[in-house]
Amino acid sequence: MRTTAVVIGAGHAGLAMSRCLTDRSIDHVVLERGEVANSWKTERWDSLRLLTPNWQSRLPGYRYSGPDPDGFRTMRETIEYIERYAEVSAAPVRPNTTVIAVRRRDDGYVVITDQGEWRCRAVVLATGAFNLANVPAVASEVPSSIVTITPLQYKNPEQLPPGGVMVVGASASGTQIAEEIHRSGRPVTLAVGEHVRAPRTYRGRDIEWWMDRAGVLDELYTEVDSVERVRHGRSLQLTGSDDRRDVDLNALSGIGIKLVGRLAGIANGKALFSGSLRNLCQMADLKMNRLLDRIDQWAAETMDSGEVDPPHRFEATRVEASPPVTMDLMSGAIRTIVWATGFRPDHSWLDVDVFDRKGRIRHDGGVVESPGLYLMGLPFLRRRKSTLIDGAGDDARELSAHLAGYLEASAAERRARPVLSSAGLA
Ligand SMILES: Cc1cc2nc3c(=O)[nH]c(=O)nc-3n(C[C@H](O)[C@H](O)[C@H](O)COP(=O)(O)OP(=O)(O)OC[C@H]3O[C@@H](n4cnc5c(N)ncnc54)[C@H](O)[C@@H]3O)c2cc1C
């Protein structure tokens, strides 16, 4: 089978790219191993709601038009939203088609799937940034009596054995899951590493509204120092709920969750926590205040006084005087460990020489170092918002323009190639 471009993945990122390719009349297919919105259907927990408000899911040619722009979508609503986008865009999705390999062939690519092969000139990898859980090496030292699970497997507290739970990692997934498990009546210990604190609401507005308006989310990958570090930064400690509550460490310790330092190791059945909890919390407070300073400055320059509440600062993160640095994992107090230690993409099927020594794809803002190959949906791919639903539009518009330019240039180059006649060959 032949087409001009193959988009792999029918999440919102692949669908946004598909829409932009259609707008440019570029013939393409979207190959999807499951169904549209497969990750939301199969890899998220039951109670999860988007932490971005409803208005903040703008996609090319599609945006929220319901009665609750400031609400937060449930999983069912998120799936419906993305399914509807595929429908209104008439995206040429081929569901139940798993890509097994992508290889460079002649002037283009061959995409090998469990439903046959596609030949094309360009490929867009939109298979998601959160395919695999980053489980630390120390997991192999966990006593066998303890159940371990990642956020990709976690559905609800009922699936866990009764008893205490240690959640490792205090970013969005870790703080949300810790809170839910605690509310189910299980004692929860949260091992806190580097994290990014943010209030749900500031000066009467949602923090995402501020970051959107003040241009924080539009920052380009070319505008930040050390883009690789930022690309592997943590998600904000936020949750989407009707009461717009915070899930920062003060909120969690306030309801009885025990905070400990970063899980540094496990030796002889004992968990060892780093003594850096206080420092990490001070750092997170400092960074949050820097963000709030930037917001205040933007508000002072662009808004009328009285339009929003006056500036203020939040209480510093409370850390107990001497948080425990060890915990006996053999005592039976901890029955489950949740590894909320981040995610990474899975491009193991990409058989093109574009990986660096850390196994990451070499690219410049989504333009991969192999002509005609593109990426979508990775953190800070082109902008701070690249991994959000709201970030796919700008990236897809720019990368589809690059892709169209590449197709034109390579077609012109092919036309200019001398045709070798049999006489010429002789
Ligand atoms: C827990 C969690 C909460 C999040 N909350 C928010 C939020 O509140 N707001 C927000 O804007 N963003 C949020 N995100 C980030 C982001 O919007 C989602 O991760 C989103 O699913 C990413 O979209 P995507 O299209 O890049 O990837 P995905 O939605 O993962 O889509 C990729 C698709 O590719 C398919 N695929 C993968 N490999 C293959 C293959 N080999 N062959 C064929 N198909 C393949 C998958 O089945 C999948 O359907 C959240 C992410 C996570 C993990």
Contact 390, 57 (CB under 8 A): yes
Overall pTM surpassing 0.75 (yes/no):
yes
Mutate to test the pocket of ligand 1, among 58, 94, 130 (most ligand atoms within 8 A of CB): 130
Q: Which residue has the tokens 């039976």?
A: 332
187 lines ligand 1 (CB under 6 A): no
11 lines ligand 1 (CB under 6 A): yes
261 lines ligand 1 (CB under 6 A): no
Structure tokens at 60: 């090319």
174 lines ligand 1 (CB under 6 A): no
Cα–chain center distance at 43: 13
13 lines ligand 1 (CB under 6 A): yes
Cα 335 to ligand 1 centre (Å) = 30
Alpha carbon nearest to ligand 1 atom 22, residue: 128
Cα 208 to ligand 1 centre (Å) = 20
DSSP H or E segment with residue 35? none
- Nearest atom (ligand 1) to Cα of 343: 53
CA torsion 10→365→26→109, rounded to 10°?
-80
127 lines ligand 1 (CB under 6 A): yes
Count H helices, E strands: the chain?
A: 10, 22
314 lines ligand 1 (CB under 6 A): no
Q: Where are the beta strands (DSSP E) in 73-163?
A: 93-94, 99-105, 108-113, 116-120, 122-125, 132-133, 147-149
Alpha carbon nearest to ligand 1 atom 32, residue: 127
Q: How far apart are CA 135 and CA 396, in angstroms?
A: 31
**Per-residue tens of pLDDT for the chain, all 426 residues:** 999 999 999 999 999 999 999 999 999 999 999 999 999 999 999 999 999 999 999 999 999 999 999 999 999 999 999 999 999 999 999 999 999 999 999 889 999 999 999 999 999 999 999 999 999 999 999 999 999 999 999 999 999 999 999 999 999 999 999 999 999 999 999 999 999 999 999 999 999 999 999 999 999 999 998 888 889 889 999 999 999 999 999 999 999 999 999 999 999 999 999 999 999 999 999 999 999 999 999 999 999 989 999 999 999 999 999 999 999 999 999 999 999 999 999 999 999 999 999 999 999 999 999 999 999 999 999 999 999 999 999 999 999 999 999 999 999 988 898 765 444 443
388 lines ligand 1 (CB under 6 A): yes
171 lines ligand 1 (CB under 6 A): no
